[in-house]
Amino acid sequence: MSSGFSTSAARNMFFGGTVFFLLVFLALTYDTEQALPKRDNRAAIAANPQIAAGKKIWENNNCIGCHTLFGEGAYFAPELGNVYKRRGPEFIKAWIKSQPTGTPGRRQMPDFHLSDAELDEIVAFLKYASEINTANWPPNIEG
Amino acid sequence: MQYKSQAVAKPYFIAAIGLFVAQILFGLVMGLQYVVGDFLFPHIPFNVARMVHTNALIVWLLMGFMGSAYYLVPEESERELHSPKLAIIMFWVFLVAAALTVLGYLMVPYATLAKITGNELLPTMGREFLEQPTITKIGIVVVALAFLFNISMTFLKGRKTSITTVLLIGLWGLAIFFLFSFINPDNLVRDKFYWWFVVHLWVEGVWELILGALLAFVLIKVTGVDREVIEKWLYVIITLSLITGIIGTGHHFYWIGTPEYWQWWGSIFSALEPIPFFAMTLFAFNMVNRRRREHPNRAATLWALGTGVMAFLGAGVWGFLHTLAPVNYYTHGTQITAAHGHMAFYGAYVMVVITMISYAMPLMRGRVANSKSAQTMEMWSFWLMTVAMVFITLFLTAAGILQVWLQRMGDTPLGFMAAQDQVALFYWLREITGVIFLIGLLTYIASFFKGGETEKA
């Protein structure tokens, strides 16, 4: 570091830069919140209480511990953000009910003992997720 | 060790290393489950092993940060810690809460854990890295506040240096951003958006301040370079970190339902995120080259240099690899992400905590540095763990590139599991390198018990 540049100048640059970019970030956050209603399919949540209930089931069984949802989560099992479009509601319910497969050496999904009503709720949640505008991600139906 | 109360760091460091071992063991379980899918099923399903793996990492790094702060702040402030007793009580509260949480993960199904901990009162569970029951999260906040009170009182009453100022901003930021873990709206997009306020603004934001402050402290000690020079570097590095990293959060907002302008903001700013890490590498090597003394703790110097290099490779280079939106469109949520996560966490945060332990632990044990033979052993562990991590990262990167090619490109993309079967070879290689990492970690622990001649501190 050149001697013309003092520690206090560096400190001021740090505080000034941080505050400035935090404010820009807050402004972008505000703008994002304004833009979200057109993209995030929130009307569906208000119309169908099964979606919020399905999200709780998703969380309470730690689905994200193996799967990804919009590419976030663990990379051990398939992407589920678009699974509703890939497989359809009946396949999803039958699949969850038939777990674990018990095939030797294959990855296993636990039996979560979901009731029929809960299966409908998780499907409602996955349908809602598949209708969010994710800028055309994933690249194809396989996720 | 100049102040008696600095010794409260010792139990924090010991517990951190213990949890590190648990993290690696469960990592090996997961690695094996990638290729032998039913290994330990149904006793330890993959999602449970993963929670233990990631949460143990987070908790032991927090333990390491706290221990480091308890050691560093009294020395920099030139006075005893405000309350050593509070620090010890909080250590046990934190350790018991962590142990109970891990036992909860392992003993009962996750849904049962959610039920018995009253998750429905304030649902925060079931989100990646924030899987802890809500009561554990509240416990973390209590421990963090008591810790911050203790450290801040020490800071306020003593000498204020740039290092303690930066460290405290980082630690307060850590606690403040953790509060976003209590925000969990039904709206999935908003849930994900604010989730990143914890995850990204920790590891690509305030944690970098902690990293910089700890590294600067150790470099002052082992090189004897003027504080003025080191503090100036520290401010430049963390300025670069935050002006790139705050808006760099946008690289997580490409595909989660947020507006598409984030593809520009995120790509441009996060593409600059490697710069502060490169500056950190230059910083570490420059200071060591300009050293004014030959500190007998050569192992600590090696860890400090290693932090600079590996943080740049893992966080900087491997982050840049998939941060531009057009690239990330294909790589998002694949083994490329896993590769980056592994080397970034190891290179930046694991290594800086070990740097601090390596420097401070001998002093707390009443010697300037460990014996030559103990240091040789520790340096062996450095190379074993670091080289193993480089190869883990390379194998996961290879798996990720193939996965993208097979599953997301071309006219006849394979399904997820079909693509996984094709890349199994790389998962096996990763598992073998993982065993070498464990051998490195056990060597590291053994180095603490290696005797030999030492100079009294």
A26 touches chain B (CB under 8 A): no
| Mean pLDDT to the nearest integer, B89-99 | 98
pLDDT tens column, B269-306: 999 999 999 999 999 999 999 999 999 999 999 999 99
Q: Is the pLDDT of residue B33 over 60?
A: yes
What is the share, in percent, of chain B residues with pLDDT greater than 90? Answer: 98
Quote the tokens at residue B141: 């906040």
| Mean pLDDT to the nearest integer, B2-23 | 98
Q: Is the pLDDT of residue B142 over 80?
A: yes
Find the closest chain A residue to B105 by CA distance.
A62
A95 touches chain B (CB under 8 A): no
For B384, other C-beta atoms within 10 Å of its C-beta total 19
Q: Is the pLDDT of residue B326 over 90?
A: yes
pLDDT for residue B456? 87
CB contact under 8 A, A32 and B255: no
Distance CA A140, CA B17 (A): 43
Which of A56, A59, A99, A141 to mutate to test binding with chain B, by most B CBs within 10 Å of its CB? A59
Q: Report residue B457's pLDDT band, with 50, 70 and 90 as the boundaries.
A: confident
B256 touches chain A (CB under 8 A): yes
Distant-in-sequence, close-in-space partners of B174: CB < 8 Å, separation ≥ 6: B65, B144, B202, B206, B207, B210
CB contact under 8 A, B46 and A107: yes
Q: Is the pLDDT of residue B107 over 80?
A: yes
CB contact under 8 A, B41 and A100: yes
CB contact under 8 A, A139 and B409: yes
Q: Is the pLDDT of residue B28 over 70?
A: yes
B367/chain A closest Cα distance in angstroms = 33
Q: Given B30, B37, B186, which is nearest A105 (Cβ)?
A: B37
Helices B162-178 and B134-157 pack at an angle, to 10 degrees, of 160
Under a CB-based contact definition with an 8 Å cutoff, are residues B130 and B202 in contact?
Answer: no
Chain A residues whose CB is inside 8 A of the B41 CB are 100, 108, 110
Chain A residues whose CB is inside 8 A of the B414 CB are 142
Read off the pTM.
Answer: 0.97
Find the closest chain B residue to A80 by CA distance.
B416
ipTM of this complex prediction, to 2 decimal places: 0.97
A88/chain B closest Cα distance in angstroms = 16
Handedness of CA B58, B59, B60, B63 (dihedral sign): positive
Buried b (16+ CB within 10 A) or exposed e, B271-288: bbbbbbbbbbbebbebbb
CB contact under 8 A, A21 and B41: no
pLDDT for residue A3? 61
Chain A residues whose CB is inside 8 A of the B333 CB are 68, 70-73, 75, 79
Chain A residues whose CB is inside 8 A of the B249 CB are 25
Q: Report residue A4's pLDDT band, with 50, 70 and 90 as the boundaries.
A: confident
Find the closest chain B residue to A17 by CA distance.
B243
pLDDT for residue B218? 98
B122/chain A closest Cα distance in angstroms = 11
Which of 52-71 (A) contact B at CB < 8 A?
52, 55-56, 58-66, 68-71
B312/chain A closest Cα distance in angstroms = 20
Q: Given A5, A64, A134, which is nearest B127 (Cβ)?
A: A64
pLDDT for residue A2? 52
Q: Is the pLDDT of residue B6 over 60?
A: yes
Find the closest chain B residue to A35 by CA distance.
B259
Degrees, nearest 5: CA angle B37-B431-B100? 70
B215/chain A closest Cα distance in angstroms = 17
Distance CA B26, CA B438 (A): 11
Residue in A15, A32, A127, A121 with CA at minimum distance from that of residue A82: A127
Q: Given A69, A73, A106, which is nearest B38 (Cβ)?
A: A106
B87 touches chain A (CB under 8 A): no
Q: Given A7, A40, A108, which is nearest B257 (Cβ)?
A: A40
A47/chain B closest Cα distance in angstroms = 13
Q: Report residue B410's pLDDT band, with 50, 70 and 90 as the boundaries.
A: confident
Region at B194 (left for phi over 0; alpha for psi -120 to 50; beta for the rest) = alpha
Q: Report residue A115's pLDDT band, with 50, 70 and 90 as the boundaries.
A: very high
| Mean pLDDT to the nearest integer, A61-79 | 98
CB contact under 8 A, A64 and B192: no
Under a CB-based contact definition with an 8 Å cutoff, are residues B258 and A32 in contact?
Answer: yes
Q: Given A14, A39, A103, which is nearest B235 (Cβ)?
A: A14
pLDDT for residue B1? 86
A89 touches chain B (CB under 8 A): no
Place of tokens 């505050």: A19
Residue in B72, B71, B82, B52 with CA at minimum distance from that of residue B9: B71
Q: Is the pLDDT of residue A1 over 70?
A: no
Under a CB-based contact definition with an 8 Å cutoff, are residues A89 and A125 in contact?
Answer: no
CB contact under 8 A, B232 and A137: no
